[in-house]
Structure 1
Amino acid sequence: MSEQVYAVVGPYGGRTPQNLGNNATFGFVVTDEGVVLIDSGGTYQGAEAIDRLIKQVTDKPVKYVLNSGGQDHRWLGNGYFKERGARVIASEAVVADQHKRLQDQMFMLGNQVGEKEIVGTEPVYADETFTDSMRFILGSTVFELQRVGPAHTPGDSLVWLPRKKIVFTGDVVFVGRIPGVLAHSKSKGWINAFDAMA
């Protein structure tokens, strides 16, 4: 994407034992003081797989994990990174959505990914939340978080790097995947999310 900014594009298709629930696009930013990860993967083992990719780029630790939504592959890897000292940030709406859908998500992962592959996967919620927006700096990199949901999920949030003019969209934008309009999705809100992104 850009120097110090990386996309991790998970396989297209459903959640499987092979992809450990990581059938989405994730991102990470390497700063002077550590790594900021956008979305932690669908399982504990999925998070470990993402961490192995990060270690191919840098030996700096993951300092922050930003959950862009309440979908399982956006947050159920939080525990892996929390154990290693990362702080987790998400909007209040994301955390409420995570609580509401946890049981269904764990049931689905057990069926699609497999009971062996989800070992270690436990709900770990944000250390810090925000209502509509938040800004922080790590190293010399500015991060701006903006809740734009409900769209695909109730708390969908964008992560904007203003100095680099790069945005991480989570499940607001689907590329190479069929958009999932589900019971908790809001089509009108999705249009508003695109307006906010523009």
Structure 2
Amino acid sequence: MRIIALLATLVLSSAALAGPDDVVRPYPAEQVSPGVYVIHGPQGVPSRENQSFMNNPAWVVTDDGVVVIDPGSSVQAGRMVVEQLRKTTQKPVTHVFNTHVHGDHWLGNQAILDAWPKATLIAHPDMIKQAHDGAGAFWIKLMSDMTGGYTDGTRAEIPTIAAADGQEFRIGGKIFRIHSSTDAHSKTDLMIELPQDRILFTADNVLDHQVMNLRDGTFKGVLKATDRALALNARLYVPGHGRTGDRTFVEDQKVWFETLVSEVRRMYDEGKSDYEMKPVIAEKLKAFRDWPEWDTNLGQQISLAILEIEQE
């Protein structure tokens, strides 16, 4: 039994160490609309088990080439995205949108540029600034730490083109309309609309039935972004994590945040502490108890909501 346990440990340890050509295990791309593909990654945090891959890379095939949205969390994840993309089209990648500064969405840029060196990288201006000011190095280390070194070899390829709120990028006969904010999930966020297809890539401003980590954002900003997403009345919403779908999961997120914030505000006015609030709010939100990251992020959100109310 000891020998078996030792062998299992060695296998796990070796699996966590990435070689120079390692690729995350394959996840198939799904065509959610003609010419629009999404790889729906597993929900959760980066780990050895998921090899750092847990977001939703997507791409749009245009007349001139391919536009990628969020190629993943590491060079290893990005290579997997490149492999899956090449199964759907032989066109080159011409542009990449990075939706925000959190590294699980953009550190795969390296693999895209390795395959298509002329691709243009686009992001929120504050994302670009933060990446240069240390966020790139921070996320590379964090990914390595969380995956036991699996993502080692990843370098930060930082976007060079800044996208403004309301800006339209016309690429290969398609319009990519930008809806950006400075106070939502990460304060560096883009949502990307394909008006012709009535598709909205919400990034992490809206998640599919997952309790959001909001340590870098604000409730006010996320609620504003959620309302903006609903007002666009898209046919399909592609979240940063979870499954693509209709507006139902966007409406559910709105209910979550409105309920949590209103209950925190009510009990804050009554002089309650965060630990007194948590069981009450957990009961109010019990319909959402099976959402990923419930145990990790519910208490965090309550504490952050108190801080936000105090700042008001």
Fold shared per TM-score above 0.5: yes
- Cα distance, 1:14 vs structure 2: 1.8
What's the counterpart of residue 162 of structure 1?
195
1:18 deviates by 4.4
1:78-131 Cα shifts (integer Å, max 9, x gaps): 12212322110001022233344334322221111232x223311111121134
Cα root mean square deviation, aligned: 1.6
Q: CA deviation at 1:76?
A: 0.9
Aligned AA (1:59): Q
Residue 37 of structure 1: CA displacement? 0.5
What letter is aligned with 1:119? D
Shift of 1:65: 0.7
Match of residue 196 from structure 1: 228
Give me the whole-angstrom Cα distance separating, in 2, the residues matched to 1:140 and 1:37.
Answer: 15
Aligned match for 1:94, one of 105, 110, 127:
127
**Aligned with 1:30 (options 57, 61, 74):** 61
Number of equivalences: 196
For residue 47 of structure 1, what is the aligned residue in structure 2?
78
The correspondence for 1:110, drawn from 114, 138, 144, is 144
Contact 1:149/1:190, CA 8 A, preserved across alignment: no
Secondary structure of residue in 2 paired with 1:188:
helix
Structure 2's unaligned 5+ residue stretches are: 1-31, 232-312
Structure 2 match to 1:57: 88
Q: 1:8, 1:178 → 2: CA distance? A: 20
**Cα–Cα, structure 1 residues 148 and 196, in superposed 2: closer, same or farther, change >3 Å?**
farther
Conserved? CA contact 1:41–1:73, under 8 Å: yes
Secondary structure in 1 aligned to 2:167?
A: strand
- Paired residues of 1:149 and 1:193 also in contact (CA < 8 A): no
Does structure 2 retain, via aligned residues, the 8 Å contact 1:34–1:63?
Answer: yes
Could you tell me which amino acid in structure 1 is paired with residue 142 of structure 2? M
1:52-97 deviations in Å (ceiling 9; x for gaps): 1111211111111100111111111112212322110001022233
Worse overlay, 98-107 or 25-34: 98-107
Instruction: Report the equivalent of 1:132.
Output: 165
Residue equivalent to 2:43: 12
TM-score where L is the length of structure 2: 0.59
Task: Determine if contact 2:82/2:111 at 8 Å carries over to the other structure.
Answer: no
Deviates more, 1:159-168 or 1:77-86: 77-86
Amino acid paired to 2:126? A
**Contact 1:94–1:155 (CA under 8 A) maintained in structure 2:** yes
> In the alignment, is the contact (CA less than 8 A) between 1:156 and 1:172 conserved in 2?
yes
Gaps of 5+ in 1: none
Normalized per residue, the structure richer in strand is 1
Q: Single out whichever of 11-20 and 71-80 deviates more from structure 2.
A: 11-20
| 1:153 aligned onto 2:181 | no
AA of the residue aligned to 1:128: I
CA distance in 1, matches of 2:160, 2:113: 9
1:177 corresponds to? 210
Q: Residue 59 of structure 1: SS of its match in structure 2?
A: coil
Q: Tell me the residue number matched to 1:119.
A: 152
